[in-house]
Amino acid sequence: MRHGEVENPDGVLYGRLPGYHLSELGRRMADRVGEHLASRDIVHVGASPLERAQETAEPIAKAHGLDIATDRRLIEAENVFQGKTFGIGDGALRRPANWKHVVNPFKPSWGEPYIDQVVRMTGALEAAKDAARGHEAVLVSHQLPIWIVRSYVEKRRLWHDPRRRQCTLASLTTFTYRGDKIVSVGYSEPALDLVPAHLRAGAKPAKGAGKAYGA
């Protein structure tokens, strides 16, 4: 699961910075997904250590009488632009100081290599599969790591256009195992009606909106 909306009035790419919590709308998203999953056979709930992920996981864990297992492998991708504004229409790519960080989108050169995200996220998936074998687990993470591990499982290239990620706020990307092998990947958006239109998967952000604030 991707976490819900974050309170971020300054439009900062918050990345791994502490202190960024769910907004009131984000909490409604988390509650909605918690209700959606209340009847599922969930025996394990894990989450990134970042506050927004922990807060998103809380309604799910509570509904099933579980503690949240914090797993650092689920954390947001590292990014050199963390703490700054860096988005569509803000002129970031025209600043010479930033050029050295955007020379290689295939790695990517501005942050944690895609392959490193694959390694840690597949490790988290495997651990959750073993913890919930024969049942279901929910892991709360962040948009980029979720999309990267899904792309890897579905045998797509890892470099991509961020605007084309299918990983809306509070969405569920489901990996189904048969034994120790992933046999299918699903996607659903139980809280879609709560997600602002410009933040939905495939939306075209307007100038000054839809910045890459961190996910």
Lowest mean pLDDT among 77-86, 116-125, 138-147: 77-86
The predicted pLDDT at position 89 comes to: 46
The predicted pLDDT at position 212 comes to: 43
Fill in the DSSP letter of residue 78: P
The predicted pLDDT at position 70 comes to: 98
Q: b/e map of 28-47 (b: 16 or more CB within 10 Å)? A: ebbbbbbebbeeeebbbbbb
| pLDDT band for position 208 (cuts 50, 70, 90) | very low
pLDDT in tens, 107-128: 898 899 999 999 999 999 999 9
Quick check: 34 pLDDT over 90? yes
| pLDDT band for position 210 (cuts 50, 70, 90) | very low
pLDDT in tens, 168-203: 999 999 999 999 999 999 999 999 999 999 888 766
| pLDDT band for position 61 (cuts 50, 70, 90) | very high
What is the residue-averaged pLDDT of the chain? 90
Q: Are strands 181-188 and 172-178 parallel, antiparallel or unpaired?
A: antiparallel
Q: Among candidates 167, 188, 152, which has minimal Cα distance to 76? A: 167
Q: Which residue has the tokens 């980029």?
A: 144
Fill in the DSSP letter of residue 31: H
| pLDDT band for position 94 (cuts 50, 70, 90) | low
Q: What is the mean pLDDT of residues 81-87?
A: 77
| pLDDT band for position 87 (cuts 50, 70, 90) | low
